[in-house]
Amino acid sequence: MRQRAKIAWLSEGDANTAFFHQHASYQRQKNVIHSLLVDGAVISDHAAMAEASFNHFQDLLGTSLDREHTLDLEFLGLPSEDLSELEEPFTEEEIWGVVKDLPHGKAPDPDGFASEFLQSRWATVKDDFMVAFAKLFTMCGRGFQGLNQALLILLPKRPDANALGDCRPISLIHIFAKLVAKTLANRLAPGWNHWWITTNAPSSESATSMTTLCWSSRR
């Protein structure tokens, strides 16, 4: 039976046949979340499930805990870096460097844009993106709340998953937010690499300071 199923998939799986549409419909029904167990109650309304999912993961990601110990960075003697380059206006060259390095073959974002579209039509859309980056730099955020939205995908960790704790979230954000995050990361990378090389081989004085810090944390 399994061998015959493989033969059917090889012969008809990629064709526009009833077998293909039947398989696609089954996968769609299999991936739909019909209900969730929240606080001991089962909810099936789509809006209620969306609100419960948002509140659940917001509490996980936005909860700050009190620390029992803190680090005295001045005592560690870490080098200070000049971060004035991070406050420079965004340039077309650095944004294009991020765009051309975007991976291919990814699903379109909620705004409908894929990396292949930006790379092939950058000459047409770059002015609009540069305006958006300029508004971000000047902190003129009118209309940015729409870009701060994402699609939440829940992947079950086990076959009988029925609660939010049984799922792993994947967030699909707008491509503009991806460009901003990658551009800022590229600006931080040189300074971070320099700091890591400088501090990766601590001197005897730094090692003594770290030992003292560890002992004081244990008390």
What confidence category does residue 3 fall into, taking pLDDT thresholds of 50, 70 and 90?
low
Q: What global pTM score does this model have?
A: 0.58
- Tell me, yes or no, whether 93 and 163 share the same domain: yes
Looking at the domain assignment, is residue 161 inside a domain?
yes
Looking at the domain assignment, is residue 17 inside a domain?
no
Residues 25-44: tens digit of each pLDDT: 666 666 777 788 888 888 88
Looking at the domain assignment, is residue 91 inside a domain?
yes
Contact of 137 with 95, CB cutoff 8 Å:
no
| pLDDT, position 96 | 94
Looking at the domain assignment, is residue 102 inside a domain?
yes
Residues 4-17: tens digit of each pLDDT: 555 555 555 556 66
Go through 39-64 and write b for each residue having 16 or more CB atoms within 10 A of its CB, e for each that does not. Answer: eeeeeeeeeebeebbeebbeeeeeee
What range does the domain containing 143 cover? 87-200
- Tell me, yes or no, whether 97 and 166 share the same domain: yes
Structural domains in the chain (count): 2
- Tell me, yes or no, whether 189 and 101 share the same domain: yes
- pLDDT, average across residues 129-156: 79
Looking at the domain assignment, is residue 214 inside a domain?
no
- Tell me, yes or no, whether 58 and 148 share the same domain: no
In terms of Cα–Cα distance, which of 139, 140, 133 is closest to 187? Answer: 133
Looking at the domain assignment, is residue 70 inside a domain?
no
